[in-house]
Amino acid sequence: MAAQLTARGRLTVPRMVREVLQLSPGDCVEFGVNSNGEIVVRKAPAQIRRAGPRTRLAQRRATTLRRRRAAELDALLRGLD
pLDDT (tens digit per residue) in 30-56: 999 999 999 999 998 876 655 555 677
SS (H, E, C) the chain: CCCCCCCCCCCCCCHHHHHHHCCCCCCCEEEEECCCCCEEEEECCCCCCCCCHHHHHHHHHHHHHHHHHHHHHHHHHHHHC
Cα 32 from Cα 54, distance rounded (Å): 24
**Mean pLDDT throughout 20-27?**
89
The pLDDT, as a whole number, for residue 48 is 60
- Say yes or no to pLDDT of 77 above 70: yes
**What average pLDDT does the chain have?**
82
In terms of pTM, does the model score above 0.85? no
